[in-house]
Amino acid sequence: MSAPTDLSRLRLGTAPDSWGVWFPDDPHQVPWHQFLDEVARAGYSWIELGPYGYLPTDPAQLRDELDKRGLRLSGGAVFAGLHRGTEALDKAVEDCREEARLLTALGARHLVLLPEQYTDMHSGEATEPGHLEPEQWNDLVTGMNTLARTLHDEFDVDLVFHPHVDTHVDTQERVERFLTDTDPEHVNLCLDTGHISYCGGDNIAIVRRFPDRIGYVHLKQVDPGVLKRVREENLSFADAVRLGSMVEPPYGIPEMPPLLDALGGLGADLFAIVEQDLYPVAPDVPFPIGARTAGYFAGCGVGPVRRWPY
């Protein structure tokens, strides 16, 4: 018998990614103050930090900017190439420490680790092989164990691993192998629903097989038509995003209501952060999408969602 669904334990938020932000500084991205203003107007109460340096990194300034808009911080994200060994792990530790200091100063306790892509984020060109040798896989999982324990012990921050298209942990098979090989006490998953579906995986199956390892969620949908073209033409993730591979609900996959039911049945408090991968995008595009998306999830019973003016 499945556990009863309790959607009240899913805390809805959004991220700079849904406003087309992939980098700390880029002329194609909306200014950070526009992002914060529009997120609040769209109805969200929780946000992610986004790439470190996009939002203010002075804790007092960031707290003031969030407070005056009625926003709170759920967590942040860091890229790392842990499969490259000791030097990469050392860099990841320092990068995560820097971000953890800011997160904890604002009361956030989640840090999302994204593996580095083997394709260039701008051009989509391959930068390294798409598979790992056994030694590299071992460096990835042992590095993740070390990094997660370090952040837990030093900051009481939960590190969650984010499977990602065009990385070495992308398909369901690789995700399940990663969870099996890593330390279940400290290493959990940021379930990105769009990236799992993009790679042909089954989100609900992962939730049911590893219920205790789902520590954070990115809510995202993929356009099946664009995905078909991506596979036929062997396109990179950067190309796919420019073609509109990620769409607002309910126009893509995975189907959200049964997935939300599965997450609500975990009996755990979970952040459910909306992401849509819109880089690059015209500055007037994200806000109406973000507002409609907040309304969609409110209609599914997931919140909080505020009405404007807040």
Predicted confidence at residue 5, as pLDDT, reads 86
In a domain, 308, yes or no: no
Measured CA angle at 287 (ends 121, 56), to 5 deg = 65
Residue 31: pLDDT band with limits 50, 70, 90: very high
pTM, two decimal places: 0.94
pLDDT tens figures, 52-80: 999 999 999 999 999 999 999 999 999 99
In a domain, 1, yes or no: no
Predicted confidence at residue 310, as pLDDT, reads 55
Hey, is 243 helix, strand or coil?
coil
In a domain, 307, yes or no: no
Predicted confidence at residue 1, as pLDDT, reads 43
Q: What percent of the chain has pLDDT over 90?
A: 87
Predicted confidence (pLDDT) at residue 121 exceeds the cutoff of 90: no
d(CA 163, CA 186): 17
The CATH code of the domain that includes 201 is 3.20.20.150
Looking from the CA of 1 toward its CB, the CA atoms found within 13 Å total 2
Q: Can you state the angle between helices 134-155 and 86-105, rounded to 10 degrees?
A: 30
Report DSSP letters for 61-109, one per residue: HHHHHHHTTT-EEEEEEEEE-GGG-HHHHHHHHHHHHHHHHHHHHTT--
Average pLDDT across the chain, whole number = 94
The number of beta carbons lying within 10 Å of the beta carbon of residue 161 is 29
What's the chain's length in residues?
310
Predicted confidence at residue 309, as pLDDT, reads 63
Instruction: Look up the domain containing 127 and give its range.
Output: 7-300
Predicted confidence (pLDDT) at residue 45 exceeds the cutoff of 90: yes
Query: How many domains, in total, are found in the chain?
Result: 1
Report DSSP letters for 11-56, one per residue: EEEE-GGGGT--SSS-TTSPPHHHHHHHHHHHT-SEEE--STTSS-
